[in-house]
Amino acid sequence: MRTILLAHVKRIVIKIGSTVITNGAGLDLKQIENLCSDVQQLRQRGYEVVLVSSGAVAAGKGDLGISGRPQTIPLKQAAAAIGQSRLMGAYKDALRPHGLKAAQVLLTRDDLANRRRYLNARNTLMTLLEYGIVPIINENDTVVVDEIRFGDNDNLSAMATNLVEAQLLVVLSDVDGLYDCDPRLHQEARMISEVARITPEIEALAGGEGSDLGTGGMATKVNAARRATLYGAGTAIINGRTPHNLLHLFDGHELGTYFLPAIDPMAARKHWIAFTKKPRGKLFLDDGARRAVAESGKSLLPSGIRSIDGSFDRGDAVRLCDLDGQEFAKGVTNYTSAELTRILGRKTSEIEGILGYKYGDEIVHRDNLVLRT
Ligand code: GLU
């Protein structure tokens, strides 16, 4: 079953959690060596591999005399600054005996939310792959503040899957997969081997705390799986501490939890609008407009907009809400908030008369609009 699902896979994003490659003393070099040997095997089998690796904070905090989790953001950032080069050094050393070279790619959410920078990052990654280099992505922890953070590397790995157009995301964690109840509390907990659709019930199973080292618990992993599968990539969550589990997965062993790709995946651009672009405001639509957009696949025209919230520019993302404030879609607006306050509720034929110009009839074109799933 698994081998059939993997049959169309060419490019893989592998997310490596902090707990997989560190121990109490810092980086676990043996684990990194094992992983790099698996990466080489995968490449020999013809797969292209992109790594998203955590571990910078865990590798650097010892130099600051910190044993638990760094308590402040500056401390975390300082630890990452120390640990990131150490992390890359460890990967370089572990890849070298296999004739492989590594490249460091540090990203913030802001980089990917800006379409030009997104395409730039994509070109860089594609070029690295073309030249046979192993890109190793991490969040650019030293410069991020809350507004531009991915938040956790699970999320970053889902964004990277879209960015490099991979067909598979493998999340290596210190747990075996998703269980039907918390295995730390219930002996009878059973692993869920396959998830066809991420329902609210599945999301509820994933609720709970993460580890001390990384940011993510199971909830962020399932959320990453949701984003990756909606883009059309299957997602496997497996235990990365078990040596060579990665290869076992590709050998067709039924391990971990596998989330099937969506049957009707979103195009890369729509996925980017839905998950990467940060919304700057809200448009509240009357019921007719809501139905036209949500049920008939129409573009949004000014007549159905009752009110707006926020200050945004042309090209920004906005949330589309019903009159109760329920968000049902997200899209890119063709008009600024200042322009919209003047033309909302009016007919398209009136736009030019009111503003003195017009960019088009649509406030949000259907091609730039994604319904909430
Ligand atoms: N970027 C962080 C690091 O390298 C980890 C964030 C996470 O694990 O989610 O240490």
- Within a 13 Å sphere around the CA of 155, how many CA atoms are in the beta-carbon half? 19
Domain that holds residue 257: 2-270
Query: Distance, CA 53 to ligand 1 centroid (Å)?
Result: 7
Query: Cα-flanking dihedrals φ and ψ of residue 306, to 5°?
Result: -90, -40
Which atom of ligand 1 approaches the CA of 214 most closely? 8
Ligand 1 atom nearest the C-alpha of 138 is 1
Is residue 208 pLDDT above 60, yes or no?
A: no
Whether the per-residue pLDDT at 16 is higher than 90: the answer is yes
Enter the pTM of the model. 0.86
Residue 220 alpha carbon, nearest atom of ligand 1 = 9
Closest protein CA for atom 8 of ligand 1: 214
The angle subtended at Cα 92 by Cα 88 and Cα 98, nearest 5°, is: 150
What pLDDT does residue 272 have?
Answer: 87
Residue 55 CA to ligand 1 center (angstroms) comes to 6
Best mutation site among 54, 142, 156 for ligand 1 pocket (most ligand atoms within 8 Å of CB)? 54
Which residues make Cβ contacts (< 8 Å) with residue 294, sequence separation at least 6?
328, 329, 371
Those residues with Cβ within 8 angstroms of residue 187's Cβ, 6 or more apart along the chain or in another chain: none
Q: Which two tokens stand for residue 54?
A: 């955590």
Same domain, 352 and 253: no
Compute the residue count for the chain.
Answer: 373
pLDDT bucket at 148, cuts 50 / 70 / 90: low
pLDDT tens per residue across span 152-190: 899 999 999 999 999 999 999 998 999 888 777 788 888
Instruction: Determine the residue type at 26.
Output: G
The DSSP symbol for 135 reads E
Residue ranges around ligand 1 (CB below 6 Å): 18, 54-58, 80, 138-139, 141, 152-153, 214-216
On whether both 246 and 293 belong to a single domain, the answer is no
Min mean pLDDT across 82-86, 106-110, 267-271 is at 267-271
Whether 343 and 212 map to the same domain: the answer is no
Which pair of structure tokens corresponds to residue 171?
């999340």
pLDDT at 210: 47
Please give the Cα distance from 351 to 361 (Å, whole number).
Answer: 8
- DSSP string for 170-206: EEEESS-S-BSS-TTT-TT--B--EESS--HHHHHHT
3-state SS assignment for residue 298: coil
Burial (CB < 10 A; 0-12, 13-18, 19+), residue 280, is middle
Are 30 and 113 in a shared domain? yes
| CATH number of the domain residue 249 falls in | 3.40.1160.10
Shared domain check, 111 and 195: yes
Distance 86 CA to ligand 1 centre (A): 14
Atom nearest to 59 CA in ligand 1: 10
Work out which ligand 1 atom sits closest to the CA atom of 156.
9
Both 10 and 94 in a single domain? yes
Model pLDDT, residue 307 = 97
Centre of ligand 1 from the C-alpha of residue 175, in Å: 17
Q: Look at phi and psi of residue 208 and say left if phi exceeds 0, alpha if psi is from -120 to 50, else beta.
A: left
Q: What pLDDT, in 10s, does the model give residues 34-75?
A: 999 999 999 999 999 999 999 999 999 999 999 888 888 899
CATH number at residue 297: 2.30.130.10
DSSP E strands, 35-97? 48-53
Using the structure block, give the residue that is written with the tokens 């600051």: 64
